[in-house]
Amino acid sequence: MWLLEIITVLLIISCSLFIHEMGHAVAAVISSKNSKVEVFLGTSSKTNKLRLRIGRITCYLTIALSGFCNYRIANEFPSFTYKQKIFFFLGGPIASLLISTVLFIFSFSVPGVAGNILINSAAANLFLFITSMIPWTYPAFLGGLPSDGLQVLNLMKTNRKDRTVTS
């Protein structure tokens, strides 16, 4: 029975990460008609992963405890503006918060084990929202990358410094 519980927890975490990273991907696609996006669960390796393509978004999926989203814009097009980058970094946390709220509300109408899975999924997405908005660097076993909150903070600092220099 405990093996089934471990598998369920890993699936909840992986699905929550996928939703979060898709929030980033959708923000990138909305921000620029010239962007192509890759979503990775786990490492940046493309081998031994389920490949899923949705328009300009390509996903490389596996059971994982970490994930990230990478966008590319061809050299002949302008790169993302400050506001587009902010939108990109906040897209994931916003998706996590929205799906957490929806799952929490919906869980009250679903009894039994399914309701418990929904409430735990809501909690996982809320946890992902909170931890991604805290400005910190994830430990190596969770990817070792800066959080969305840290990336937004660094972007705001750079923007403020650039505005001060040009003023």
pLDDT digits (tens, 9 = 90+) for 61-120: 999 999 999 999 988 889 999 999 999 999 999 999 999 999 999 999 999 999 999 999
Model confidence, pTM: 0.95
Count of Cβ atoms closer than 10 Å to residue 120 Cβ:
16
Angstrom distance (rounded) from CA 72 to CA 69: 10
Alpha helix locations (H) across the chain? Answer: 2-31, 82-107, 112-133, 148-166
Domain hosting residue 89, numbered range? 2-166
CA 37 to chain centre: 12
Residue 58: strand pairing partners:
38, 53
Residue 39: strand pairing partners:
59, 69
Total of domains in the chain: 1
Task: Please give the structure tokens belonging to residue 110.
Answer: 């679903």
Query: Where does the pLDDT of residue 126 fall: very low under 50, low under 70, confident under 90, or very high at 90 and above?
Result: very high
Angstrom distance (rounded) from CA 52 to CA 105: 29
pLDDT tens per residue, range 1-21 = 899 999 999 999 999 999 999
Angstrom distance (rounded) from CA 128 to CA 114: 21
* pLDDT for res 161: 87
